[in-house]
Chains A and B, each alone.
Chain A
Amino acid sequence: MPEHPQIVFAGTGGGAVTRIEDYESAGGFAPLRKARSMAPDDVIAELEASGLRGRGGAFFPTGRKWAFVPKPDQLPKPHYLVVNADESEPGTFKDREIMLRVPFRFLEGCLIAAHAIQSKHVFVYIRGEYEQEFEVLRDSLEAMRKADLLGGVTVVLHRGAGAYICGEETALLESLEGKRGQPRTKPPFPAIAGLYAAPTAVNNVESITTATSVLELGAGEYAKLGVEGSTGTRVFSLSGDVVNPGNYELPHGITLRELVYDVGGGVPGGRELKAIIPGGSSTSVLTAADIDTKLDFTSLVEVGSSIGSAGVIVIDDRCCMVQLGIRVSQFYEHESCGKCTPCRVGTRWLTQILEKIEDGRASQPDLDLMLSVCDRILGKCLCPLGDSDAIAVLSYVDKFRDEYQAHIDLGRCPLDGDSSLEGILAPSAMHGRQAHEVAHV
Chain B
Amino acid sequence: MASVSTRIEKLRKQYPESTSAVLPALRLAQEEHGGWLPPEALREVAEALDLTPAYCVSIASFYDQLRLEPVGRTLVEVCTNVSCALSGAQQVLEAFERELGLEAGTTADDGSFTLGTVECLGGCGWATVVAIDNRHRLRVQADQVPAIVQELRA
User: Does B associate with A?
Assistant: yes
**Chain A residues in contact with chain B, CB under 8 A?**
78, 87-93, 95-96, 121, 127-132, 154, 156, 158-164, 175-181, 196, 237-241, 245-247, 277, 281, 311, 313, 315, 319, 324, 327-328, 331, 334-335, 337, 420-427, 429-431, 433-434, 436-441
User: When chains A and B are docked, how far (Å) is the Cα of A158 from the Cα of B22?
Assistant: 11
User: When chains A and B are docked, how far (Å) is the Cα of A431 from the Cα of B124?
Assistant: 24
Q: Is chain B's interface secondary structure helix, strand, loop, or mixed overall?
A: mixed
User: When chains A and B are docked, how far (Å) is the Cα of A427 from the Cα of B131?
Assistant: 14
B49 → chain A closest CB, angstroms: 8
User: When chains A and B are docked, how far (Å) is the Cα of A238 from the Cα of B69?
Assistant: 37
User: When chains A and B are docked, how far (Å) is the Cα of A319 from the Cα of B87?
Assistant: 11
A428 → chain B closest CB, angstroms: 9
Say yes or no: A246-B119 contact (C-beta < 8 A), given A161-B26, A178-B23, A439-B68: no
Q: Write out the residue numbers on chain A whose beta carbons fall within 8 Å of the beta carbon of B80.
A: 327, 424-427
Q: Write out the residue numbers on chain A whose beta carbons fall within 8 Å of the beta carbon of B61.
A: 436, 438
**Chain B residues in contact with chain A, CB under 8 A?**
14-24, 26-27, 37-39, 42-43, 53-54, 57-59, 61-66, 68-69, 80-83, 85-87, 89-90, 93-94, 103-106, 116-127, 131, 134-136
Q: Write out the residue numbers on chain A whose beta carbons fall within 8 Å of the beta carbon of B105.
A: 430-431, 433-434
User: When chains A and B are docked, how far (Å) is the Cα of A39 from the Cα of B64?
Assistant: 43
Judge whether B57 and A423 touch: CB under 8 Å: no
Judge whether B27 and A159 touch: CB under 8 Å: yes
Say yes or no: A160-B63 contact (C-beta < 8 A), given A425-B90, A441-B43: yes
Q: CB within 8 A of A176: which of B20, B106, B124?
A: B20
Q: CB within 8 A of A331: which of B23, B94, B119?
A: B119
Say yes or no: A441-B53 contact (C-beta < 8 A), given A160-B63, A163-B63, A328-B82: yes
User: When chains A and B are docked, how far (Å) is the Cα of A440 from the Cα of B85?
Assistant: 37
Chain A residue at smallest Cβ distance from B118? A427
Q: Write out the residue numbers on chain B whose beta carbons fall within 8 Å of the beta carbon of A121.
A: 16
Q: Write out the residue numbers on chain A whose beta carbons fall within 8 Å of the beta carbon of B125.
A: 93, 237-239, 245-247
Say yes or no: A178-B21 contact (C-beta < 8 A), given A331-B81, A335-B119, A439-B38: yes
B89 → chain A closest CB, angstroms: 8
Chain B residue at smallest Cβ distance from A181? B62
A-B contact pairs, 22 of them (CB 8 A): A90-B120, A93-B122, A93-B123, A95-B122, A127-B122, A129-B65, A161-B26, A162-B64, A163-B64, A177-B17, A178-B23, A331-B81, A420-B85, A421-B82, A423-B90, A425-B117, A427-B118, A430-B116, A436-B68, A437-B68, A441-B39, A441-B43
